[in-house]
Structure 1
């Protein structure tokens, strides 16, 4: 059997293992999904009128704010789902599963690949579920074409891939699952301090660079442009650049930690 076919076979096995774990222990995924759904409902039904007035020159239009909010909530969903990957990887490390895999005749990288692909699939499913909730409460796109929907889904998948590699590295570098959950928390915090809830221009002057020059704001603005027809500008290229940079960083970090000889 060639090296490539061996890698594909073993990665598929590891992917199936991770998906079975997610199915048997759905509580973690459900808990992480509750946060973006609750934030969506909270900001739409409790703060929706006030927030829409603040960004629409005094006009109160809850549906308009819902459309503005959804792209940021989808990014928050991905960030939350990838925290589960960090916890899963840390659990495998601390419970000795990885040590047993090291002694088996399997492709070395298949363990990480299985975690990454499994996490990306879970992210996509989570985005679909949260998106369905958004549609159920009134979210509608503005003349988005099939190509724009495809590009939006592709961008979300690329973001999920990049954040998953970072989460896997955080899980590998953590001493236990609890630490992994805490270390990966910025993946949910950063969307909260981006343009997800209010425009960057509406923030205090000292805070605007923090919101502007981070990975999530360009991605959110790109999604708004694709789905709502707003101006994208250079945000699309910035979002892709951030994703590629984070994916590369996470991959190098993860493989370096995983290939390190255990003490």
Structure 2
């Protein structure tokens, strides 16, 4: 017998998703008031506590303003929300929003070289403080140096995996792992959090982006060059390598989006 996994559904989660979709989709205008908790509960066929919990989540996400004794009003998410709304903005059903995709690509092209630069600078700093971080001897590696050694090894491994990858969707996943290790080397919490949200928005569109991204993720030599620049502790070279890697696909994707 084949068993089908049971999907656990949250009533308040469903209420949140429905209202969030209408706010982000523009069906609920900025400044408009939502129905009362009682009215929403009746209209949606759920309990008032479920509605209350959903409204609290919407407020925490910066989509509505909830004030005791006053109507819940819709906020301008462009000013009040965070990066966590990007995945919902990028994909509307099965359709990619071109303007959102363009902004993600622009952020990727801008941030990637800087992250690579920071990663190489940290490797150089660790090399200066603890000796060459390219040494793999476990006996002498400790603390920050041990982490750098491990991340550089993983980075090279992902570059080699990309050189051998033949499936463009699988290649994109390996590329995401490559950049995950670059971020670990960069050791920037701000870029890490930004990347996490950009990745959450990007991953659902992997299959749709595969035809255009195939040239980039198939460029194993470019990933090797970037890994080598970071391992050498050469910030300027790493930034240039990242720009050379990301630039062509970004330009191609933006061109395709402009023609959509």
Give the TM-score band, short-chain normalised: 0.3 to 0.5
TM-score by length of 2: 0.32
Asked which structure has the greater CA Rg, the reply is: 2
Structure that is richer in helix per residue: 1
